[in-house]
Amino acid sequence: MKIVIDDKIPYIHDAVSRLGVEAVYMQGSKIGPADVRDADALIVRTRTRCDESLLGNSRVSFVATATIGYDHIDTEYMKKAGIEWMNCPGCNSSSVAQYLKSVLLLLWRDKGMSPTHTTIGIVGQGHVGTKVAAVAESMGMQVLVCDPPKAEEGAECRYGKFVTLEDIARECDIITFHVPLTRCGKHATYHLAGQDFFDSLQQCPVIINTSRGAVADGNALIDALYNNKVKDAVIDTWENEPDIDLRLLDKAYIATPHIAGYSADGKVNADNMVIEGLCNHFGLDNPGKIMPPELPYNVTAHLKELLECRNPNNEECVNRDIALTLYNPLNDSTNLKKAPDRFEEFRGNYPLRREKW
Ligand SMILES: NC(=O)c1ccc[n+]([C@@H]2O[C@H](COP(=O)([O-])OP(=O)(O)OC[C@H]3O[C@@H](n4cnc5c(N)ncnc54)[C@H](O)[C@@H]3O)[C@@H](O)[C@H]2O)c1
Ligand SMILES: O=C(O)[C@H](O)[C@H](O)COP(=O)(O)O
């Protein structure tokens, strides 16, 4: 049995080696029809488009993407071809929530946006949006949630009732997108934040996009930043990655290379889900749970010191410093702003980041 695996899926190698199968590791964007022709399974990230042109002449019967998003998988073709496929729902949702928490703390520290005077609009109440809403609520923000598909299903909104995107545009000081990228259907999200949306903003909000780049129209967002319809932008996901728009990079307060979900915890969750799916599909013995690496001693000691110096007068600052020591998106942003051509390199060699210590 042969598996082709994206070589930038961290922590998965040992578990795969214990499966006793042939494994070929390759750069995701380079995996082509000739590489998968005699393969039985494919484990990818967002960089491999899985469709008929890749899989049509192969014997692949199982495709797993070690990600939440699956807009790079042609699900219609998978169904037609009888290929089982899976993504990893929720795997790195806590990592994106950690990213958002640090962003909100930075907006408070550096831009004076006090949480108790801030209304945040969450667009999409799925795995990520739910956790982000909880973070914002715990900081004292007023939370509004827009999720028309969930509203139509009669799902419960924890924050009063679901509101419309127009309500969000009218009321919110921060607007953050957590929807899948979809190009058709009643609730398609391609350019959901387009010209009309930016024109309708009333509070000159901060716009945050950690979902998929094309959920926001980059040109319209840049215009809105120049015309002061938008106060600041925090961009993790970009149109046309890795060839990102340098005007948006320059204007964005925080600009990161699609790494909101890159905690080691999130990566390991995805690995464990993929290995389980693979073992179930092929009847293999599961080689056991993969664990994330520990933080180095100096980081752990520093965090311990911060906690020990906590007192009632500076508790807020200590908590903020702990969160920002664990993860500060400004570091990733500074690197990307200095060297945007290294977008994929920053992702592929991402340093160890943990959600807890
Ligand atoms: N930047 C990163 O590293 C990173 C990490 C994880 C996930 N993501 C992306 O974040 C997004 C959200 O992930 P998730 O796990 O929460 O997905 P999810 O499927 O759990 O939730 C998405 C929610 O969006 C809602 N939705 C769909 N269309 C909508 C519309 N037009 N308006 C408002 N709501 C709509 C759905 O009803 C659903 O509740 C995805 O695009 C995913 O690929 C990015
Ligand atoms: O959808 C997801 O899970 C995230 O966007 C994920 O972090 C993407 O990571 P990639 O596969 O591009 O490394």
The CATH number assigned to the domain holding 112 equals: 3.40.50.720
Token pair 């598996």 is at which residue? 3
Q: What is the mean pLDDT of the chain?
A: 97
d(CA 52, CA 74): 8
Shared domain for 231 and 199, answered yes or no, is: yes
Q: 312-316: long-range contacts at Cβ-Cβ below 8 A with a sequence spacing of 24 or more?
A: none
Looking at the predicted structure, is the pLDDT value of residue 311 above 80?
Answer: no
Looking at the predicted structure, is the pLDDT value of residue 34 above 90?
Answer: yes
> Which of 127, 258, 269, 355 best tests ligand 2's pocket when mutated (most atoms within 8 Å of CB)?
258
Closest ligand to the CA of 241: 2
Q: Residue 357 class from Cβ within 10 Å (0-12 exposed, 13-18 middle, 19+ buried)?
A: middle
In this structure, the number of other CB atoms found within 10 A of the CB of residue 151 comes to 16
Q: If you take atom 39 of ligand 1, which residue's CA is the nearest one? A: 126
Shared domain for 32 and 112, answered yes or no, is: no
The one-character DSSP state at 237 is S
Query: 284: CA distance to ligand 1 center in Å?
Result: 32
258 as an active site residue: the answer is yes
User: Is the CB of 350 within 6 Å of ligand 1?
Assistant: no
Among 212, 320, 353, 354, which one carries the catalytic annotation?
212
Does residue 355 lie in a domain region? no
d(CA 285, CA 94): 29
E-strand ranges in 20-157 read 22-26, 41-44, 62-65, 84-86, 119-123, 142-146
pLDDT in the model for residue 217: 98
pLDDT digits 0-9 by tens, 7-17: 999 999 999 99
Q: If you take atom 8 of ligand 1, which residue's CA is the nearest one? A: 211
212 as an active site residue: the answer is yes
Among 45, 47, 72, 258, which one carries the catalytic annotation?
258
Shared domain for 97 and 212, answered yes or no, is: yes
Shared domain for 232 and 118, answered yes or no, is: yes
Closest ligand to the CA of 211: 1
d(CA 47, CA 356): 28
Number of domains in the chain: 2
d(CA 291, CA 175): 34
Shared domain for 7 and 78, answered yes or no, is: yes
List % helix, strand, coil for the chain (3-state, nearest 5): 45, 15, 45
pLDDT in the model for residue 317: 87
pLDDT bin (cut points 50, 70, 90) of residue 315 is: confident
Shared domain for 182 and 35, answered yes or no, is: no
Does residue 123 lie in a domain region? yes
Looking at the predicted structure, is the pLDDT value of residue 312 above 80?
Answer: no
- Cα–Cα distances in Å, from 298 out to 66, 148, 302, 304, 357? 30, 46, 6, 10, 12
Query: 147: CA distance to ligand 2 center in Å?
Result: 22
d(CA 197, CA 220): 9
Shared domain for 167 and 194, answered yes or no, is: yes
Q: 38 among the known binding-site residues? A: no
Shared domain for 112 and 27, answered yes or no, is: no
User: Is the CB of 272 within 6 Å of ligand 1?
Assistant: no
Please tell me whether the interface predicted TM-score (ipTM) of this complex is above 0.90. yes
User: Is the CB of 92 within 6 Å of ligand 1?
Assistant: yes
Shared domain for 145 and 101, answered yes or no, is: yes
pLDDT in the model for residue 314: 81
Q: 150-158: long-range contacts at Cβ-Cβ below 8 A with a sequence spacing of 24 or more?
A: 150/125, 155/125, 157/125, 158/133
Domain region containing 114: 93-255
Shared domain for 104 and 246, answered yes or no, is: yes
Does residue 277 lie in a domain region? yes
Shared domain for 241 and 125, answered yes or no, is: yes
Comparing CA positions, the residue from 208, 207, 146, 210 lying closest to residue 181 is: 210
pLDDT in the model for residue 347: 98
Looking at the predicted structure, is the pLDDT value of residue 310 above 90?
Answer: no
Looking at the predicted structure, is the pLDDT value of residue 204 above 90?
Answer: yes
Shared domain for 181 and 275, answered yes or no, is: no
Q: Which of 211, 238, 255 lies at the terminal end of a domain, its last residue?
A: 255
